[in-house]
Structure 1
Amino acid sequence: MDLLALADFTLVARHGGFGKAARSAGRPKATLSRRVAELEASLSLRLFERGARDLKLTQEGRALFERAGSLLTELEETAAAIASGGERPRGRLRVSTPLLFSQTVMGRLAASFAHRYPEVRLEVTTEDRAVDMIEEGIDLVIRVNPDPDERLVGRAFLRHRLVVVAGPDVARSTDGTAVPAVVRGDDRAAWRVRTPTGHAAIAVEPILSLGSLIMVRDAVRAGVGAGRLPVSLVSRDLAKGTLAHWGDVDAPDIALWVLYPTRRLLSTRVSAFLDHLKQAFPNGTPDELSSYAEG
């Protein structure tokens, strides 16, 4: 296979058309069109569907683009590293992280990474949805309790747990009646907790339904009701006594995973970010996350 033709194909696929690719690379449009046609002929495959105004990848073209794009980038980076006499991390690194992790620690984590690796252009997006890493060009994702995916590998780097807390003026029910609660989304089920004396169920009457855990914490701090929150968000409040601990949520611990595609070679910039996470959270405990978030 002609690697130059393959590189031209990925250039056109990335820009979504011959004209845009030609302008971006400063190459003749006719040359790119000819090289892609030669690649299609050599593979006996149609890689693009050519409409009157647009250009779309065929199923085979998309499969080739997903594999070839990352491999060509890695080859270029390897050649650049060899030419420079070292394996210094460089280039663009795209990371997708969940909302709460982004709000509490990602700013400081990204800044310290940028200081340490100034030749890496780190781009962080915040998504709670399951992104398609190959389709969207993401190098790493951080996810909470992700479903198994044979296309991804990685490790859990943080363990967490949920607690039920409330302000000192919010009375805990002793007769099974519902307590005022601040919830995320439409959560009306009783909260099952573990306490020093055993297991219990706390009936709740939602007073507020809010869209983020940061908002839930702030409302609980204001004394409007009880809340179910990650312990790292309220550890300082519990230590100062401004919030009362009603129990740990009776559920498996939360795990934060960092994942990357199995089909990609592990680039130096990805390895650098994995090492950076390990240094930030060496034991992966809630206390480490709380201390990092609080600065």
Structure 2
Amino acid sequence: MDLLALADFNLVARHGGFGKAARAAGRPKATLSRRVAELEANLDLRLFERGARMLKLTEEGRALFERTGALLTELDETAKAIAVGGHSPRGRLRISAPLLFSQTALGKLAAGFVLKYPDVQLEITTEDRAVDMIEEAYDLVIRVNPQPDESLVGRVFLHDRLVVVASPGLPRPAGRDAVPAVTRGSMAQAESWEVTTSAGKLRLAAKPVLSLSSFIMVRDAVRAGVGAARLPLSLASSDLASGRLVSWGEVEGFETALWALYPTRRLLSARVSAFLDYLKAVFPQGMPIPMKPPHCSEMIAPLCSGMISPPV
């Protein structure tokens, strides 16, 4: 098989069209079209469905792209590493991550990673939807409690749980009195929270008074003393440590795990491996506790100081 033709096929598949691939690579569109056509002829397979305004991978084309894209990338990175006499991660690393983790942690975490690996161009997009890693050309995705996917493998790097928190000035309810509650999502008429405290299990009656669409908005409202709320410990940890919020107990039956997922492959790129190792070093216990980026030096000391998981 012609590796150059295969590389051109992957280029077109990755960009979703001959024109886009030609502009990205600075090569003639006609050359790419001819080389892909020659590859199809040699394989006796149609790799693309060609329409007037669209280009779509066939089932065989998708299979070829999924199985060869990572190998070609690995070959290219190996050649570059040998050429420069080392194996330092380099090149573009595209990551998709959920909104809350991105807003509260990924800014400082990403900065620490790039300072450690200056030859990596890190690109992070924020979205809660399940992206298609192959079609959208992501190297790694971070997801909360993801559904099983045969095409992906990964590892848990952070466990989280819910705690009921309130402003220190908000009195705890006595007896069967309901506590004013700030909720995320649709507002119920009334609900109860099962929590575990140092004194044992407790049921709190909650009367929603405010409904907001994000956990960060909920946290800010709770800081203002509007009511109590259930928040991820990772989001509340810095406020609990500083005394801006107090914990009324841990919510039973709610635990989440953040996964770093990547396409199934025998050899990971140096960039993905480095980022996975970095996550492990930043969250050594896999729990939302104060974190310190690894290998802090004088150059990044201001970044490292006071970094809480997640930083706020």
| Number of the residue aligned with 2:121 | 121
TM-score, with normalisation over the residues of structure 2? 0.86
Distance 1:54 1:155, change over 3 A: closer
Please say if 1:59 is aligned against 2:59: yes
| Correspondence 1:219-258 to 2 at 5 A | 219-258=221-260
Show structure 1 runs of 4+ deviating over 6 A: none
Contact 1:71 1:264 in 2 (8 A): no
Please say if 1:291 is aligned against 2:293: no
C-alpha distance in 2, partners of 1:265/1:197?
Answer: 50
Q: Amino acid of the residue matched to residue 108 of structure 2?
A: R
C-alpha distance in 2, partners of 1:139/1:21?
Answer: 19
| Secondary structure of the structure 1 residue equivalent to 2:261 | strand
| Secondary structure of the structure 2 residue equivalent to 1:63 | helix
User: What's the CA shift for 1:81?
Assistant: 0.8
| Correspondence 1:160-179 to 2 at 5 A | 160-179=160-179
| Number of the residue aligned with 2:276 | 274
C-alpha distance in 2, partners of 1:238/1:28?
Answer: 59
Contact 1:165 1:229 in 2 (8 A): yes
Distance 1:209 1:288, change over 3 A: same
Work out the percentage of aligned pairs sharing the same amino acid: 69
| Correspondence 1:181-200 to 2 at 5 A | 181-186=181-186, 188=188, 189-200=191-202
C-alpha distance in 1, partners of 2:83/2:77?
Answer: 10
| Correspondence 1:198-217 to 2 at 5 A | 198-217=200-219
Comparing 257-266 with 36-45, greater Cα deviation is found at 257-266
Matching residue within 258, 261, 281 for 1:259: 261
Q: Amino acid of the residue matched to residue 245 of structure 2?
A: L
| Number of the residue aligned with 1:28 | 28
C-alpha distance in 2, partners of 1:245/1:21?
Answer: 54
Distance 1:102 1:171, change over 3 A: same
| Secondary structure of the structure 2 residue equivalent to 1:128 | coil
Comparing 273-282 with 257-266, greater Cα deviation is found at 257-266
TM-score, with normalisation over the residues of structure 1? 0.90
Distance 1:133 1:30, change over 3 A: closer
The one-character-per-residue Cα deviations of 1:210-247 (angstroms, maximum 9, x if unpaired) are: 12111111100101111101223333433454433211
Distance 1:224 1:63, change over 3 A: same
Give the number of equivalent residue pairs.
295
Pairwise CA RMSD of aligned residues?
2.2
Contact 1:180 1:205 in 2 (8 A): yes
| Number of the residue aligned with 1:150 | 150
Contact 1:70 1:264 in 2 (8 A): no
